[in-house]
Amino acid sequence: MPKLWNVTIEAHRNAVRDATLTATAALVAEHGPAAVTMSQIAKETGIGRATLYKYFPDVETILTAWHERQVQSHLDQLAAIRDRADSPAERLEAVLAAYAVLSHQHPGSDLATSLHRADHVSQARQHLHTFIRDLLSDAAAAGDVRTDVPPGELAIYCLHALTAAGALPTKAAIHRLVAVTLTALHP
Amino acid sequence: MPKLWNVTIEAHRNAVRDATLTATAALVAEHGPAAVTMSQIAKETGIGRATLYKYFPDVETILTAWHERQVQSHLDQLAAIRDRADSPAERLEAVLAAYAVLSHQHPGSDLATSLHRADHVSQARQHLHTFIRDLLSDAAAAGDVRTDVPPGELAIYCLHALTAAGALPTKAAIHRLVAVTLTALHP
């Protein structure tokens, strides 16, 4: 097959895949994970059931793929935020504030819990830890973060402290949480 | 029945109940929650199967009761630690340090996750939050804790930050975590 044709097939496959993940996530949000069937997903997306089964063997696989896409999108957002800030201290603060907002928008949901042992989650968690640790290292080298505690431990502290945003009711409270968390990082 | 007889029956019931919870927890720790049966528990405790079923209808109920006992025992430990310390600041520090150690010893296990929607857990979480919030209020009134953030929000921050202890490898690292977390509370 010519190369262009392959590209078109690939784009089509990605479109079908994306539409399936989005429709499934919407159905799960409305009815809960246990109530969603492959037939419903086919109906919702307008993709034939036979075609759907070519892409995904079952609902659980779709949910795992959807969650993987969510997690990756969050990591991408954090990386973009990091790249927009100028100094190590600003990068650290901007990324931690964004992480708090994400934690608030996606507190440990049933879905996240049921999938929490998935490989991609522990990989993403490791990636996130490394990402924050490096920001802390840079800020420490610039004199903006304490050096008496290893950056890896400070990263674990930050990530746990900021998940508190999931239990806070307002943006103002989340803002205060970020400020409190950052206070502890000062040299 | 005379009162003393009731007390004796009650003590016997509590002993059977306690033995069942302890034996079940040990079996679950060894074989995992899915592999434990009522017959195994009966064998392990030396309680007849018929008697066991008079106390608990199934393994899940035993595990819930066991978890409830664990949670209550942790709350009792924290209250005892609070009562041994003298000043508001010392009470706060001693309780938060003890909470970090408990978080390290019992990181979110499969068991905790599978039961996390149980009523007693959300009650205990609420109780713990109130408990820490009151310690923070007292320490704030004594001038030892910042007053620009409500004590309820600081309590949420502390509880989340200190669960990081579950991800730390050593006592020294947990000690540093407690120190870092406390830094953010200073006025």
Do residues B152 and B133 lie in contact, with contact meaning Cβ atoms separated by under 8 Å? yes
Domains and CATH numbers, chain A: 1-57 (1.10.10), 66-187 (1.10.357.10)
Question: CA B43 to CA A124: how far, in whole Å?
Answer: 44
Give the helix, strand, coil percentages of chain B, each rounded to 5: 80, 0, 20
pLDDT at B117 over 70: no
Contacts A185 to B, Cβ<8 Å = 180
Compare all CA atoms of chain A with the CA of B103 and give the residue at the minimum distance.
A160
Under a CB-based contact definition with an 8 Å cutoff, are residues B177 and B168 in contact?
yes
Structure confidence at residue A185 as a pLDDT band (50, 70, 90): very high
Distance between CA atoms of residues A138 and A154, nearest Å:
13
In the predicted structure, residue B111 carries a pLDDT above the cut 70: no
**The Cα angle at residue A136 between residues A135 and A137, in degrees rounded to 5:** 90
pLDDT at B181: 95
- Whether the complex's predicted ipTM is more than 0.95 is answered with no
Directed axis angle between helix A59-84 and helix A38-45, to 10°?
60
Three-state SS at A147: coil
Taking CA atoms, A55 is separated from A38, B24, B31, B48, in Å, by 11, 43, 37, 52
Percent of chain B with pLDDT over 90: 37
For residue range B28-39, what is the model confidence (pLDDT) as tens digits?
A: 888 877 788 999
Residues in chain B with CB shorter than 8 Å from the CB of A180 are 146, 149, 153-154, 157, 184-185
Residue tagged 């430990």 (tokens): B77
